[in-house]
Structure 1
Amino acid sequence: MLICSNFEGADMKPKRINKRFTFVIIPDANSSVRRFEVPKLIPYLAAGGLCGLIALTLTLSVLHSQASRTASQLQSRVVNQDAMYTTTVQQKDETIEQLQNELIQLSKQTSEMKTKIDDIRKLEDEVRTLTGSNKTAALAESASGTPAMGGSSHPVTQDEVKDTLEQTKSLLSGMDKEVSELKNSIASSKETAMVARQKLRVTPSIWPVDSRTLTSGFGLRQDPFTFRPSFHSGYDISAPFNSKVYATADGIVQSTGSDANHGNNIVLSHADGLRTWYMHLNKINVEKGDEVQKGQVIGYVGSTGRSTGNHLHYEVLKNGVSVDPKPYLSYAP
């Protein structure tokens, strides 16, 4: 039992209030009473300290709560920023990869365009060769279908990307100049081809009949009637009766006629002093002065005049002199 009092003396007379507190402890009936005196200021200090401790605890609790909220907000912001950063980095990586793929495609297309330009140049050389140029040409063979691919996968490095970019820029720069030169060259080749085409039109260069059966060539032979050596001034081409006879070049009908040696015959006049002569015809399809086109039907095969059977005597004359028709015939034997 604890009793606190601030009075002293048995007579219980009022005295001046003591500035001390007396604490009396009574354990039980058989134990002695214990007294403790403490200065009056101590309880107040204890109470004040307790109140201060409570206030400090509350303050610390509020500060802790605020700190926790702030930390949570900061953590949330960090998570959001990290997510945004991750997304940004991922988008950047995807963009870089896309640009790298586009660069690869551009490089591939540039290389293909370069190959096509080279093929055009080769084709131009071929055209020049066909039209009389001294250049030689060989057309490149192109592979068909999807090309087979394989190999290990290695990430692209910056140096590789840079090298590819520089090569592509160099190719594009060179191609610009090549295309300009090629344009002028093709224009020149076109003009040359047109001249050559026109020249080809007026130059005897096709077979006068569909048959390719040559029964007598140009030069010395045994005469089919006298069996004596003689000079044959053209080609005898065996063909069925009434087979079509074609003009071997653009020209003008110089003459048509019939006699005992040549039978029904036609003479065409062409450019550069060339003439062609068609003999032993069954029928003549043109008249003197007519303009004829290469491949036009001018008559039909027969066996008129000095002839042993149905055939066409075809002759080429250069400045009035009979020459071998072979250089003027495609696929001549």
Structure 2
Amino acid sequence: MKLKWGKKRYTFVIIPDANSSVRRFEVPKLIPYIAGAGLLSLVIVTLFLYVLHARTVMVASNLQTRVYSQDTLYATTVQEKNETIEQLQNEVIKLSKQTSDMKSQIDDIRKLEEEVQTIKGSDKKTASADPASTGKAMGGVMHPATQDEVKDMLEQTRTMLTDMNEEVDNLKNSIVNTKEEALAVQQKQRVTPSIWPVDSRTITSGFGLRQDPFTFRPTYHSGYDISAPLNSKVKVTADGVVQSTGSDSLHGNNIVVSHSDGLRTWYMHLNKINVDKGEKVEKGQVIGLVGSTGRSTGNHLHYEVLKNGVSIDPKPYLK
């Protein structure tokens, strides 16, 4: 017997209550199967959506974790960059301070150099900078400096400044020593009778044996007779102290000045004495005037140099 699904039906009886009439519904036999299949499909779709949602939530969570990690990494990188920039700024400040100190040291050296040049009597001038080297024109292809390059530059600059500090210290000490030596030389020259006592250079009688101008006999002359007009200025030939002043028939008006290293100078036949015994005198100071007092045949200065009390030739001292 062949079944016919399309003609078979299910009858549903609905009884509202005891007093109501019974209601009946007939539906094709295929409808419940279709409803069951639809429900099953709905359950399957719901499960699929749930799984998809769970996966989406997991992916979103992973993405959020990665974003948080990236944010943390970015914040760390920014902090490291800021710390590096701050470190570089501190290095620049230190280098600036060192440069300022270096400039002060260079200024001190220049002052010492000027003092030495003044002591030496040099008129040397500092060479001016080449205009081409001081111009503002510049150019070239721009290549941004890397952090490593900046650090290398700072390290090299720090090393150079350290070396320059040592070199400047050595140079400064050397110039200080040179200055002290120059001052010592200057002081020695100040106390050494090395200038002419009068402007005249006419020597009428030298040091050593000569014919006496009064007796015409051979005699020993202990100094230089330098001819000069009456009242010509007589200058002391070195720093010293007036040891004595006086007048007698042989030396006339005369002055003896004591210097260092056992040296003394003697000025005779003066017309006038301008200093007193015990007075300090400076090289080139006028101490008297030329005359012809004492044993003299005319206006002149008898100039004598004594070493440890012994008269010596003044020639090596006259420049």
TM-score, with structure 1 as normaliser: 0.52
CA distance in 1, matches of 2:229, 2:134: 53
Number of equivalent positions: 276
- The reply on whether 1:301 has 2:292 as its aligned counterpart is no
Q: Which residue of 1 aligns with 2:17?
A: none
Counterpart among 78, 82, 102 of residue 87 in structure 1: 78
Between 289-298 and 147-156, the greater mean CA deviation after superposition: 147-156
What is the RMSD computed on CA atoms of the aligned residues? 6.0
Q: Is the 8 A contact 2:192 2:237 kept in 1?
A: no
Counterpart among 253, 265, 268 of residue 254 in structure 2: 265
Gaps of 5+ in 2: 1-5, 13-21
Counterpart among 174, 177, 201 of residue 214 in structure 1: 201
SS in 1 for 2:201: strand
Q: Is the 8 A contact 1:110 1:172 kept in 2?
A: no
Q: CA 1:4–1:110 in 2, change beyond 3 Å: closer, same or farther?
A: farther
Task: Describe the superposition over 1:110-144 as per-residue Cα deviations: whole angstroms up to 9, x where unpaired.
Answer: 99899999999999xx99xx9xxxxxxx9x98666
Q: Is the 8 A contact 1:110 1:171 kept in 2?
A: no
Gaps of 5+ in 1: 9-13, 23-36, 131-137
Task: Describe the superposition over 1:284-310 as per-residue Cα deviations: whole angstroms up to 9, x where unpaired.
Answer: 2345x535343495733133333655x
Q: What are the within-5 Å matches in structure 2 for residues 1-333 of structure 1?
A: 5-7=9-11, 22=28, 37-38=29-30, 40-54=32-46, 56-57=48-49, 60-61=52-53, 64=56, 67-68=59-60, 71=63, 74-75=66-67, 77=68, 80-81=71-72, 83-91=74-82, 93-95=84-86, 97-98=88-89, 148=134, 156=149, 202-208=191-197, 212-216=199-203, 219=206, 233-234=223-224, 236=226, 238=228, 241=231, 243=233, 245-246=235-236, 248-259=238-249, 262-287=251-276, 290-295=278-283, 299-305=287-293, 306=296, 308-309=298-299, 312-318=301-307, 319-325=309-315, 327-329=316-318, 332=319
SS in 2 for 1:6: strand
SS in 1 for 2:193: coil
Task: Describe the superposition over 1:196-232 as per-residue Cα deviations: whole angstroms up to 9, x where unpaired.
Answer: 78766654345545xx442337738x99x99x99979
Task: Describe the superposition over 1:248-284 as per-residue Cα deviations: whole angstroms up to 9, x where unpaired.
Answer: 332342452144x654222234444432121332322
TM-score, with structure 2 as normaliser: 0.53
Task: Describe the superposition over 1:11-48 as per-residue Cα deviations: whole angstroms up to 9, x where unpaired.
Answer: xxx9xx99xx62xxxxxxxxxxxxxx438455224214
